[in-house]
């Protein structure tokens, strides 16, 4: 089970930055496709909020994956009793 936890830790480390890059690419594409004027401003604002919320989540995925890869989750608190 610990091997699975460590492998998934590596997966989380890869998914975090990859998801950020994909979100930025989508934001650029969607803002570029929006009509000029208010629609473009609204689209940019929406994507700005989405990215502002998502970036800390992606950073958290990387941190979580790092701890899993290091083996911090190998022992559960119930094992120490």
Does the pLDDT at position 80 exceed 70?
no
Amino acid 28: pLDDT: 94
Domain ranges for the chain: 2-73
* Unique residue bearing structure tokens 């496709």: 33
Q: Element (H or E) spanning 77, and its range?
A: none
Alpha-carbon distance of 58 to 27, in angstroms, equals 16
pLDDT tens figures, 2-37 = 889 899 999 999 999 999 999 999 999 999 998 888
Decide if pLDDT at 76 tops 80: no
DSSP characters for 8-60? HHHHHHHHHHHHHHHHHHHHHHHHHHSPTTHHHHHHHHHHHHHHHHHHHHHHH
């Amino acid at each position: 089970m610990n091997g699975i936890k460590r492998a998934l830790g590596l997966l989380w480390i890869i998914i975090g930055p990859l998801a950020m890059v994909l979100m930025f690419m989508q934001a650029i594409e969607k803002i570029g496709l929006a009509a000029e004027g208010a629609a473009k401003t609204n689209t940019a604002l929406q994507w700005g909020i989405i990215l502002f919320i998502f970036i800390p989540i992606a950073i958290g995925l990387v941190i979580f994956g790092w701890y899993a890869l290091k083996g911090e989750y190998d022992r559960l608190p119930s094992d120490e009793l």
